[in-house]
């Protein structure tokens, strides 16, 4: 990294830290604080200035995060709406659509979810069968989505639905922003083996979405969805759950940042330094000098560092104006491998304590067990490992695409997923 780049990072960190020290007030409600943060541009500093940002290079976002940690201030709102929806709108949406949705996202007033996967079209998103039929100024939506994270907390959803069955599958999809709280949208949480209920299946029965809620163009939703998926492989959250359903907006901001009040997030409750946590457990169990445990911890630390360095490289790529591509898939595969390694090493270090769901804080407080039960999802959520390998092969290594005999066939003629009869 050049001296100029280092100076820029330090300058950004100092500027953000100075602003936060002058404005952070733990006595404000979460909603009040997020409104102040949105107006300042420090909540989403890489967004354009006219849309609640500061036009910062993505490589500088880490410096801003460090400033929040240094000051102890509550970070910006973070749901899929802020991490995926906002960037997707900035890339594809009209000025009218941006003006309608970005303010509420920046201020944390809304929680969004992602209506992509279906029972018969998960990895092959282009074969989605949920239909949106035009009816005047509305589209009428019928179908089913599954594995929808946070749908029970969501105000709106990013919906990919089929609007034309007469063209090949990639050309007949449209991307909508749909209201979740309406007749015809039935959200059913899925109970997972890690005791979380973060995923849902969602049924649409004559649900409505206005024609002016289209992001991009009708029947061109595939390009928009690909952008969302690309951002998904780069995302990381450090704030709190937005929207009224999360129950945090009227809470004291200082209580939320201290952990005295928690939102609805479910799943593993652990930090990013897994090697440090397992090292502490090994010391507690008298395994600090065990050569097998030591080698495992070193290997895990190396994986973490490679992931961190890869993140810096990806941020630098975005700074140069390159859109997210294969690098995101490489990083996602690395995260999946990291979770599996942490699971195997953590359980080995815990020994018989690994069979218990709740243990002392000195033994991780149950975090390793939660990792073990949650780790399989890291290879599925956001695109399966198999899909990531295909993306890397095609976009990074330049290998030929896999044969696709259905790419130019009208969708109505395909027998994909659960589609067994011609519409």
Average pLDDT over residues 228-235: 73
Query: Cα–Cα distance between 236 and 272 in angstroms, integer?
Result: 11
Helix (H/G/I), strand (E/B), else coil: 277: helix
Domain boundaries, the chain: 3-78+237-254, 110-230, 268-383
Domains 110-230 and 268-383 share a fold: no
- Out of 118, 232, 347, 402, the active site residue is 232
CB atoms within 10 A of CB 344: 15
Given this model, what pLDDT does residue 235 score? 57
Given this model, what pLDDT does residue 413 score? 79
Given this model, what pLDDT does residue 236 score? 59
Query: Cα–Cα distance between 383 and 331 in angstroms, integer?
Result: 12
- Architecture, CATH, for domain 268-383: Up-down Bundle (1.20)
Is the pLDDT at 423 greater than 60, yes or no?
no
pLDDT tens digits for range 305-315: 988 888 777 66
394 is annotated as an active-site residue? no
Average pLDDT over residues 1-21: 78
Helices (H) and strands (E) in the chain, counts: 13, 8
Average pLDDT over residues 208-232: 93
CATH superfamily of 110-230: Butyryl-CoA Dehydrogenase, subunit A, domain 2 (2.40.110.10)
pLDDT tens digits for range 328-366: 788 889 889 999 999 999 999 999 999 988 888 889 888
Instruction: Give CA 242 to chain center in angstroms.
Output: 14
pLDDT tens digits for range 244-284: 888 899 999 999 988 766 666 543 333 468 999 999 999 99
With cut-offs at 50, 70 and 90, classify the pLDDT of residue 379.
confident
The CA–CA distances, whole Å, from 412 to 25, 142, 179, 217, 420 equal 57, 16, 28, 21, 10
Euclidean distance between the first and the last CA atom of the chain, given in angstroms as a whole number? 57
Q: What is the mean pLDDT of the chain?
A: 87
pLDDT tens digits for range 24-44: 999 999 999 999 999 999 999
Is the pLDDT at 419 greater than 80, yes or no?
no
Given this model, what pLDDT does residue 57 score? 84
């Amino acid at each position: 990294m050049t001296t100029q780049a280092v100076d820029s990072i330090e300058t950004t960190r100092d500027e953000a830290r100075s602003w936060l020290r002058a404005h952070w007030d733990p006595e404000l409600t979460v909603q009040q604080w997020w409104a102040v943060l949105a107006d300042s541009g420090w909540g989403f500093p890489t967004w354009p200035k006219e849309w609640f940002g500061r036009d910062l290079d993505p490589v500088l976002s880490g410096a801003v995060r460090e400033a929040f940690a240094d000051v102890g201030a509550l970070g910006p709102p973070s749901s899929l709406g802020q991490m995926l929806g906002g960037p997707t709108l900035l890339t594809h949406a009209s000025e009218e659509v941006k003006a309608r949705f970005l303010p509420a996202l920046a201020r944390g007033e809304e929680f969004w979810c992602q209506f992509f996967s279906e029972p018969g079209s998960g990895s092959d998103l282009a074969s989605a069968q949920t239909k949106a039929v035009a009816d005047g100024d509305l589209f009428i939506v019928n179908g089913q989505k599954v594995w929808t994270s946070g749908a029970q907390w969501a105000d709106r959803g990013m919906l990919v639905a089929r609007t034309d069955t007469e063209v090949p599958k990639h050309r007949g999809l449209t991307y909508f922003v749909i209201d979740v709280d309406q007749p015809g949208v039935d959200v059913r949480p899925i109970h997972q083996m890690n005791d979380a209920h973060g995923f849902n299946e969602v049924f649409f029965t004559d649900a409505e979405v206005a024609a002016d809620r289209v992001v991009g163009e009708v029947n061109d939703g595939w390009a928009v969805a690909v952008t969302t998926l690309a951002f998904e492989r780069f995302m990381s959250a450090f704030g709190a759950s937005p929207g009224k359903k999360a129950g945090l907006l009227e809470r004291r901001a200082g209580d939320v940042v201290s952990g005295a009040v928690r939102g609805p997030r479910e799943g593993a409750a652990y930090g990013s330094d897994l090697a440090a946590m397992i090292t502490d457990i090994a010391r507690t169990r008298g395994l600090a000098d065990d050569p097998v445990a030591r080698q495992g911890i070193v290997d895990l630390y190396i994986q973490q560092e490679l992931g961190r360095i890869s993140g810096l490289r990806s941020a630098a790529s975005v700074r140069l104006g390159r859109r997210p591509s294969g690098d995101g898939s490489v990083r996602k595969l690395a995260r999946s491998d990291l979770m599996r390694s942490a699971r195997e090493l953590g359980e080995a270090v815990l020994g018989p304590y690994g069979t218990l769901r709740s243990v002392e804080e000195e033994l991780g407080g149950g975090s390793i067990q939660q990792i073990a039960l949650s780790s399989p999802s890291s290879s599925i959520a956001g695109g399966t490992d198999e899909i990531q390998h295909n993306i890397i092969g095609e976009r990074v290594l330049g290998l030929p695409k896999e044969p696709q005999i259905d790419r130019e066939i009208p969708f109505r003629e395909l027998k994909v997923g659960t589609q067994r009869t011609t519409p």
